[in-house]
């Protein structure tokens, strides 16, 4: 099932998407009566054309976006870093989240803004000290993420809060896919149609059970929280005017354009 958050006016609504188009430009959305994270799926009977709605970020995390750094060996190597001995965790604020087709703002404080295509986990139940064998019980579904990073600020600051945390630095979308086997999905990134990243989730250093068990060993995850699982090799710069498309098989394609704030 593909769960979308969308609008046709000013009010966010929820629906189930039926489409063969990975970006959701063609197809239909069957409207739900409420947010399915908090209530069972209930259809209103209304069906809309995807061409007539605006897809929004499929979830706004209640409290946080938790990210795993250097979770692909090749990505760690391309930046001259060692593979971590345990999951490397950092946070993005929920104010960094934007949706499909929203603009990624290029901050004036950086000269080296990078894309990082990633699989994202959407948490469906409150959890703490989660055993590895029970992780599937707390996962609502999966979506596509871009862990936008000001690479020069990441290096100069010595910690990653600013480099990873600007507004618009966490595009999510186009929807949430539920009941998906994510053990070996292809993750690709293109900039202006040119291939940049091509990896698979089977290349994770730390798999999803290890990651969620580790995160919940020190912090509580809430329904709607999002976990970014790491990026494959091939990260690189984005410039104003560039269009970045991240695709994950079984989910879809997340596209955003880099802009300069007026």
The gap from C-alpha 229 to its chain's centroid, in whole angstroms, comes to 9
pLDDT of residue 101: 98
pLDDT of residue 60: 92
Digit-coded pLDDT (tens) for 73-116: 999 899 998 989 999 999 999 999 999 999 999 999 999 999 99
pLDDT of residue 261: 87
Which class for 176: exposed (0-12), middle (13-18), buried (19 or more C-beta within 10 A)?
Answer: buried
Min mean pLDDT across 21-25, 55-59, 70-74, 85-89 is at: 21-25
Q: Which two three-digit tokens encode residue 236?
A: 């690189």
pTM of the model: 0.97
Per-residue pLDDT band for 10 (boundaries 50, 70, 90) equals confident
Per-residue pLDDT band for 262 (boundaries 50, 70, 90) equals confident
The full set of domains in the chain, from first to last, is 2-55 (2.30.30), 65-260 (3.90.850.10)
Rounded alpha-carbon distances, angstroms, from residue 21 to 8, 60, 80, 96, 160: 20, 24, 38, 26, 35
Which phi and psi angles does 227 have, rounded to 5°? -120, 120
Digit-coded pLDDT (tens) for 136-152: 999 999 999 999 999 99
Q: How many whole angstroms separate alpha carbon 113 and alpha carbon 115?
A: 7
């Amino acid at each position: 099932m593909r769960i979308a958050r969308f609008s046709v006016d000013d009010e966010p609504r929820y629906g189930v998407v039926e489409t063969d188009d990975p970006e959701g430009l063609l197809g239909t959305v069957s409207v739900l009566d409420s947010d399915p994270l908090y209530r069972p799926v209930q259809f209103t009977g209304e069906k809309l054309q995807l061409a007539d709605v605006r897809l929004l970020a499929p979830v706004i995390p209640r409290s946080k976006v938790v990210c795993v750094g250097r979770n692909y060996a090749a990505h760690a190597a391309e930046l001259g870093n060692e593979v971590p001995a345990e999951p490397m965790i950092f946070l993005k604020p929920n104010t960094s989240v934007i949706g499909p087709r929203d603009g990624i703002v290029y901050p004036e404080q950086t000269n080296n803004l990078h894309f990082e295509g990633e699989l994202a986990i959407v948490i469906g139940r409150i959890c703490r000290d989660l055993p590895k064998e029970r992780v599937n019980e707390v996962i609502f579904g999966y979506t596509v993420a871009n862990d936008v990073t000001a690479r020069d600020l990441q290096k100069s600051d010595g910690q990653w809060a600013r480099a990873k945390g600007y507004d618009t630095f966490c595009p999510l979308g186009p929807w949430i896919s539920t009941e998906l086997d994510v053990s070996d999905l292809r993750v690709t990134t293109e900039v202006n149609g040119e291939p940049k990243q091509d990896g698979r989730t089977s290349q994770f250093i730390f798999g999803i059970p290890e990651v969620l068990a580790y995160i919940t060993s020190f912090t509580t995850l809430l329904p709607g929280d999002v976990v970014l699982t790491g990026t494959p090799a091939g990260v690189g710069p984005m410039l104003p005017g560039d269009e970045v498309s991240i695709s994950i098989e079984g989910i879809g394609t997340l596209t955003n354009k880099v802009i300069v704030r007026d």
